[in-house]
Amino acid sequence: MNIKQVKEQYSLQSVLGLLGHEPDNKKSKAHDLWYKSPFRPSEDTPSFHVNVNHDIYKDFGDGEKGGDLIWFAQRYLQSRGQGASVSDALKWFEGLGNAPKSVFKKLSGKPRKMVKDPYRVLSIKPIFSKTLFDYLETRKIPFSIAKQFLKQIYFQHRESGKKLYGLGFKTRAGSYDVRNTLGFKTMIGEKDISIIKGASSSNTVEVFEGVMDFLSYLAIENKNAPVNDCLILNSANLQDQAAQYILGGSYTQVVLWPDNDEAGRAFKRRISETLSSRSVSIVDKSEFYKEYKDLNDWLKNQEVIDSKFIPAP
């Protein structure tokens, strides 16, 4: 059983039901379900939240950011002192599959409704807005690099009819990771990772959390295109897709460029656990910008002299 098959067969709600956990009737509403945490059996007040529409959870009882179905299984196995890699989680789901189908059907309830994307793309153009040029300049991303990978996206909020525009980065699925100069960020279309093939045929893949870090990497290297294959998560919730892509390739080295925060550290742990069964060398580059939030934050604090970046005084 792979990740896609697991998510097609199970939801957080159905799995919690199979484990004997039912939502709190008083606190739960529509697509927001509250449970006593499966990680803390003695808990009195429900602190474990499940968003049914997006099939993600957050455990407010210990400050954990939470995650998707696979991440839940890993945390659950860890809480029971068992192996908690992605492979362990998939094997655990195979065991759940032995439960009587009648029980599963009862717990699953009605099929989950697909959430309609709140935005729709109106047009896609090369970047020409001065506002976007200025924004890229504040991020110290040269336009010669940005224009290779970003587009000016016009999009509309379906409900209000409000029209907006921003920088769009295409994903593997053909959707767009979009941001504007005011800090607004969304994914229009299917949430997915982005893959940029490198110029060489090396067995190394560079992994970034967001497109600005990827573009910063090219700026630092003074290149318009990467030498190695590059994978951009676009969202921390897409770690599983990233891991599956890496496992499906012939990579022998994975270079990580994570943020220097808890989400970045969780990302490193997740990737390391997932690749533990493979003979893959993992290189963590975060030490390079350890005093900064991420690679782009480091770049913004440098000066450029003869196309080389040096620390600002």
> pLDDT digit string (tens) for 286-306?
999 999 999 999 999 987 544
Q: Are residues 242 and 132 in the same domain?
A: no
If 0-12 CB within 10 Å is exposed, 13-18 middle and 19+ buried, where does residue 257 land? buried
Q: Are residues 127 and 52 in the same domain?
A: no
Q: Are residues 299 and 222 in the same domain?
A: yes
Tally of CB atoms within 10 A around 229 = 22
Helix (H), strand (E) counts: the chain: 11, 16
Q: Are residues 78 and 185 in the same domain?
A: no
The residue with greater pLDDT, 248 or 299, is 299
Which of 72, 30, 27 minimizes the C-alpha distance to 46?
Answer: 27
Q: Which residues contact 99 (CB under 8 A, 6 or more apart)?
A: 18
CATH code for the domain of 200: 3.40.1360.10
In sequence order, which ranges of 248-288 are alpha helices (DSSP H)?
262-274
CATH code for the domain of 64: 3.90.580.10
Q: How many domains does the chain have?
A: 3
- For residue 284, name the pLDDT band (cuts at 50, 70, 90): very high
pTM above the 0.75 mark? no
Query: What does R_g of the chain's alpha carbons equal in angstroms?
Result: 21
**Element (DSSP H or E) covering residue 121:** strand 119-125
Average pLDDT over residues 281-286: 93
Task: Determine the pLDDT at residue 124.
Answer: 96
